[in-house]
């Protein structure tokens, strides 16, 4: 069986590659790893609060492009879109990963 030609797809259907990141970040849960703490499973809302806390507590740890964002919401979005870790102190890195839960 041959692969369908993307040019023949209806206009409202995006190729897989274009939708992959949207699918990943539309997930509702994240695994969070923090030094000295148990692995946490957070909802998207809880992950947003966690990132806001890290941003406010460790502003100097943010990548330059994130620091340049004018709002907390924009900083959170950029971290979710482009990162999965943040070094909050020398040798201490927090990490987060979007996960899918089986239904």
Q: How many domains does the chain have?
A: 1
Q: 70 lies in a domain?
A: yes
Q: 15 lies in a domain?
A: no
Q: 41 lies in a domain?
A: yes
User: In which residue ranges of the chain is pLDDT below 70?
Assistant: 1-27, 103
pLDDT above 90 covers a percentage of the chain that reads 65
Q: 81 lies in a domain?
A: yes
What is the H or E stretch that residue 87 is in? strand 85-89
Q: Where residue 68 sits, what CATH number does that domain have?
A: 3.90.940.40
What pLDDT is stored for residue 28 in this prediction?
Answer: 84
pTM of the model: 0.71
Q: 23 lies in a domain?
A: no
Q: Identify the domain containing residue 80 by its residue range.
A: 30-99
Closest listed residue to residue 80, CA positions, set 59, 63, 92, 57: 63
Q: What is the dihedral of CA 49, 76, 80, 84, to 10 degrees?
A: -80
């Amino acid at each position: 069986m041959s692969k369908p030609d993307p040019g023949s797809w209806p206009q409202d259907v995006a190729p897989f590659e274009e939708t992959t990141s949207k699918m990943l970040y539309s997930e509702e849960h994240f695994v969070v790893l923090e030094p000295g703490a148990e692995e946490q499973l957070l909802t998207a809302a809880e992950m947003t609060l966690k990132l806001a806390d890290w941003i406010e507590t460790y502003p100097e740890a943010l990548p330059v492009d994130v620091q340049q964002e004018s709002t907390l919401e924009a900083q959170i979005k950029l971290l979710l879109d482009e990162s999965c870790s943040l070094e909050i102190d020398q040798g201490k890195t927090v990490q987060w990963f979007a996960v899918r839960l089986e239904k």
